[in-house]
Homo-oligomer: A and B are copies of this chain.
Amino acid sequence: MFKLLHKDSSSKARLGKLVTAHGEINTPVFMVVGTQGTVKAISNEELKANDVEIILGNAYHLYLRPGLDIIKKAGGLHKFMGWDGPILTDSGGYQVFSLAVLRKLSEEGAEFSSHIDGSKHFITPEKVIDIQMALGSDIMMMFDECVHYPAAKDYVEQSLGLTTRWARRSKEYYERVQGPGSGVRGKKLLFGIVQGSTYLDLRKRAVEDLVNIGFDGYAIGGVSVGEPGNLIHEIAGYSAALLPDDQARYLMGVGTPPDILNAMGEGVDMFDCVIPTRNGRNGQAFTWNGELQLRNAEFKEDLRPIDPDCRCYACRNHTRAYIRHLFNTQEILGLRLVSLHNIHFYVKLIQHSRKAIQENCFAKFKDDFMKKYKKEPI
């Protein structure tokens, strides 16, 4: 269940709370990605110490490895991975249409070959609910067809029709296995996904159809799939404005700090992205002044922390020169430190944003951030 707590008077940004079976989440929220049952290179203890409120798992990956039998035997994904906070699981729609080899797409569902061993699998909207129920996900995502950019309008329209019919089947099946009503603590939540690629009229139709079916929250999907950054912003803003005020809005797979602040200013509540961890593993650190590529030679003798004002473990204990040395010598501690710093930064970015929304000055906060934030190494 989502509670809208406050609307910023300087933008469309909002404060809210999402109640899940594993506790409440404050929104806006950034959800750290833990695709295969672990946030890459980071321990649960470190996530807690850095105020991470909710993590993401992926139904497609976990269904293939380690498989549902062992996760069920462990008592669900929370127990299997030792994380007692909320978990949102992505349905695997994106992976079936990108990572796997799609064999056959039909009204019933999608047949694909695993990207790991080529084994064949048939996934339906109902099966995806079953998988996520078995995982014990707190927030389940419906199974959708995720269309990449660019796509012709007639293809997108046809695909959206299928996704909408899958949305209806998802909701019906969810009600059968979960019982009617939703949002009560202890119940798993089901989110619908707005598709429609870059066609705003199709996005509008998607929103209307999904809201008509009724979900616990609404994701804006099929963005950050190859389209230019300004389109992400346009689609997110347009879709968010159409969605119900009293429900959570989740922009999937976004993004960089500026992308997140832009979408937050349009009223988006939830975000997830691999950027803080994936880029961290490649030596890219995020700061309030912009991005640093710590492998660069310029940091060879730089004895400052990544960010002198940051209080994360990496910045309290280590220098840019040391971290550069760790990357230079392929030492795992290097990618651990930068991943940790980036998670800390993303959490702080969200916490500062919440404060600005509470104080009705999010627009100024965002503008100040954008002015300081440089994409060039600082």
The distance from the CB of A291 to the nearest CB of chain B, in whole angstroms, is 22
Q: Is A336 an interface residue (CB 8 A)?
A: yes
Chain A positions 295-334 with a Cβ under 8 Å from a chain B Cβ: 300-301, 303, 313, 317-319, 321-322, 324-326, 328-329, 331-333
Decide yes or no: A325 and B43 within 8 Å by CB, A70-B300, A300-B66, A319-B74 being known contacts: no
Q: Which residues of B contact A325 (CB under 8 A)?
A: 36-37, 65-66, 70, 80
Query: Are A332 and B332 neighbours in the complex by a CB distance under 8 Å?
Result: yes
Decide yes or no: A65 and B301 within 8 Å by CB, A37-B322, A44-B317, A81-B322 being known contacts: no
Q: Which residues of B contact A44 (CB under 8 A)?
A: 317
Q: Write the chain B residue with the least CB distance to A81.
A: B322
Q: Is A42 an interface residue (CB 8 A)?
A: yes
Q: Which residues of B contact A326 (CB under 8 A)?
A: 37-38
* A259 CA / B45 CA spacing, docked (Å): 34
Copies of this protein, total: 2
The distance from the CB of A351 to the nearest CB of chain B, in whole angstroms, is 23
Query: Are A38 and B317 neighbours in the complex by a CB distance under 8 Å?
Result: no
Q: Which residues of B contact A333 (CB under 8 A)?
A: 38, 40-43
Q: Which residues of B contact A324 (CB under 8 A)?
A: 66
Decide yes or no: A336 and B43 within 8 Å by CB, A36-B331, A65-B325, A322-B82 being known contacts: yes
Interface residues on A, range: 35 or more
Q: Write the chain B residue with the least CB distance to A300.
A: B70
Of the candidates A38, A69, A81, A319, the one having the most CB atoms from chain B within 10 angstroms of its own CB is A38
Q: Write the chain B residue with the least CB distance to A334.
A: B38
Q: Which residues of B contact A40 (CB under 8 A)?
A: 331-333
Q: Write the chain B residue with the least CB distance to A328.
A: B65
Query: Are A41 and B336 neighbours in the complex by a CB distance under 8 Å?
Result: yes
Decide yes or no: A73 and B301 within 8 Å by CB, A45-B313, A331-B40, A336-B41 being known contacts: yes
Q: Which residues of B contact A300 (CB under 8 A)?
A: 66, 70
* In the complex, per-residue mask of A46-70: 1 if CB is within 8 Å of any chain B CB, else 0: 0000000000000001000110011
Would you list 12 pairs from A and B whose C-beta atoms are within 8 A, ordered by A residue? A40-B332, A41-B331, A41-B332, A41-B336, A43-B313, A65-B325, A65-B328, A66-B324, A70-B301, A74-B303, A80-B319, A336-B336
A66-B328, A80-B321, A332-B335 are known; give 7 further A-B pairs, CB within 8 A: A36-B325, A36-B331, A37-B322, A38-B331, A45-B317, A70-B325, A82-B322
